Amino acid sequence: MRPYLAVLKDSFREALSSRVLWILLIGITVVLVLMSPLGFKEIRSSKLRRVSVRDWPILMAKIEDQAQRDGPSPARQVRERLRPEFLQKLAAAAEQSPGEYTSEIVEQVVGEINRVIDGPSLYSAAAWENVSLGKEARELIDSGAADRGGAETSRLNRLLIEAAWPSEFQKGRKAASETALVYLWMEGDPHPLTREQSEQGVKYYLQWFVYFGLGVFGVFASILVTSSIVPQMFEPGAIDLLLSKPVSRVQLFLTKFAGGCIFIGLIATYFLGGVWLVVGLRFGVWTPGLFLAVPVYLFLFAVYYSVSALAGVLWRNAIISVILAVLFWGFCLGLWLAKVQYFEQYKIAPERFVKIVPAGTSLLAVNELGQSFEWSRRFGEWQETFVSDEPPAKFGSFFLPRQLYGQVYDERGDRILAGVQGLALINPLAPAPPLLEGKRATAWTRKKLNPLPLGVLSLMTDSRGEILALSKGAVFKLAPAKPGRGKKEEPAEKFVRLGPEPSLRLDSSASAAINPDTGAIAILNRGSVTLLEQDSDGKYNRKAEKEFAGEKEMGVVAFGGNRVAVALSDGRIRMFDSADLSSQGEYRPFGDNAPRFAASAPGGRWISVLFHNRKLWMFDVQNNRPAGLSFVGQGDISAATFGGANRLLTADRATRVTQVDLDPYRVGETQAPELSKEQTIYYYGLMPLYGVLPKPGELNGVIDYFLSEKSSIQAGANPQDMSDRREEVEISGPIWSSLGFVVLMLSLASLYVWRTDF
């Protein structure tokens, strides 16, 4: 053992003699010193903003309801300070669009509440008697802030409103603060970011800093530092002295390799330890996962160092070792850019089908960009249809998917209906989206009809073929419009409100599903499930409601037969009886992978849940157990739709749609166009090559996972929508493929050392 320890020490001496190492250490120290004055300053605020409250209509409805009750209350204190003309506008807006405000009304509400906050103190001991006030509010009251006026009174009024309706404020926005970036004595402009948001921003930039600091510059510098360790071992005199000792040649080589890795590991620990200390002390963000990046980075370095070591054994030249390692780094980077960034992000992902729409004798599909396609049996290809005048937005190699409400097939009118929301990132104050119609008689040519209800969340068809729209406040039905008396041309159809009463109060993250046989609707919203059932007049009423204690995860829902399936964002699937929402079991088929879509089959036997890792899970309601079926393309399935009581349609390999009979299980017809040249290169060239070679680019994704503690990366524009695209972080695959490559390189080098006479 002692001879090998001596070899390890010798490896350290050789590394310490490198000028590149000292330049690297000095550079790391300078970077840490320059980082140390950077931080942010938290400023307590009193103003409310649009994003401070989950849903402004819900908050204002609660204030209005509670203010009508007898006795002093926070709602009465607030309402008495609202101007009469403002209350009239609010009442008119509630009558016109129950449960939903236009952007203009929201701006007026925010301004009016802020006017109340800046006014006289809201505090009254009798009004807030049954409200739990926080420490800061109590301190302000005890200090007389309620009587002084000014900034402290405004702050107190803000805290009083939050305390009275705590559930209506966004998580992390209670006791709101603004954040300003500071460096030494310089202070930037404050931004309306909470502490939690600021910490998320720090973690985001920390990921990129670590990526470039270690994953790019660190690896390159480490190769330069360690490139001479193996070649120097085989120099005349050095190898003779080593081989004269009772040591194994192979173990001698592996010890040298391990010595270089351990040395670089210590340097990485010094860098990451310094970053961890600076970020923790200056930003208050302590990320233990940062130290988990050390072994991952060391593993990443070992991939390139194994190439350098093999070259050092073969040619015994440090320069050749560096050149070959850098060339291999460039090859891996180019392969990653070609596969992941070009083909998958620019070519494959935008074209991937996310919805399949059986439309009578036709089969339509919708891709990530919101483009619609119809399968042509004559030409054996997907042809674009339901064409819009507005092309999908693209920017470079990225695409911005539009939020689709639909598509749904209207069997009565033999037409496709959908709603397309404008890009929220470009125009956050966009009006209600229009209803889009495409009839078979006009080759599905798209045209705009009257607007959808304000705040619409989804379009559905019930058991009778009626077209329903669920908004944040109510359920609407598309019905023929009554003839008007005015001269203005009236639309042929309009949406009629079907209830329930009182109005729903849904978030934009709410998910809903309709039972295809009964027309009942299940809604998942902020950790609670609500069942709506139609009465004899077709109106929807609340049948049952269940809240998950302490669980506020987003999710998707499916409703089939006597089961309601709730797939939560943490990967769990909970089953409930549709009669009373009693629990009927819990499943976690794919760990903590988040669900994307859920659906149920006509007849109510089957429920499917498709996850963001593109794996499909099926539940057999009749036998009350998971179906345990193996699907074509599992791991690459991007859409799943029931085409009948026992038939499933799945999309994989971007645009291939496969029909499957479920009981008995049988794979049926496939609609798949011929692969283009680029797709052939991707599936039969890049994919196999990428599968066997190491994946250093994805190892950086593993580091991001440790820093962000998230197994998926938001790729779409709306994080509140579970159906918006997310890319799963692959952890085990890059590690195993890279480990196999390192073992192969070291085995070849060891074989050469063992067989060669030095």
Neighbours of 144 (CB within 10 A): 10
- Give the DSSP letter string of 421-460: ---TTT-TT--PPEEEEEEGGGTT-EEEEEEPPTTEEEEE
**696-740 pLDDT per residue, tens:** 767 666 776 776 666 666 555 556 677 777 777 677 777 788 888
Q: What is the pLDDT of residue 346?
A: 82
Q: How confident is the model at residue 540 (pLDDT cuts 50, 70, 90)?
A: very high
- Give the DSSP letter string of 351-400: H-EEEEEEETTEEEEEETTS-EEEEETTTTEEEEES--SSPPPEETTEE-
pTM of the model: 0.75
Q: Which residues of 503-539 are buried (b: 16+ CB within 10 A; e: fewer)?
A: bbbbeebbbbbbbbbbbbbbbbbbbebbbbbbeeeeb
470 and 464 Cβ atoms separated by less than 8 Å: no
Nearest partner of 357 among 413, 412, 410, 436, judged by Cα? 410
**576-632 pLDDT per residue, tens:** 999 889 999 999 999 888 899 999 999 999 999 999 999 999 999 999 999 988 898
Direct distance between the N- and C-terminal alpha carbons of the chain, in angstroms, rounded to an integer: 23
- At 646, list the tokens: 């026992």
- At 266, list the tokens: 């210590």
**226-272 pLDDT per residue, tens:** 888 777 776 665 555 555 555 677 888 888 888 888 888 888 889 98
504 against 5, higher pLDDT:
504
User: Could you give all domains of the chain from N- to C-terminal order, each with its CATH number?
Assistant: 2-40+196-326+732-755 (no CATH), 46-175 (no CATH), 507-653 (2.130.10.10)
Average pLDDT on 529-544 reads 91
Sequence length of the chain is 758
> At a CB cut-off of 8 Å and minimum separation 6, what does 530 contact?
504, 522, 523, 542, 544, 545
**434-452 pLDDT per residue, tens:** 888 999 988 898 888 878 8
- At 23, list the tokens: 């330049």
Scanning 284-369, the segments in alpha helix (DSSP H) are 289-315, 318-336, 349-351
Nearest partner of 566 among 524, 606, 518, judged by Cα? 524
Helices (H) and strands (E) in the chain, counts: 21, 35
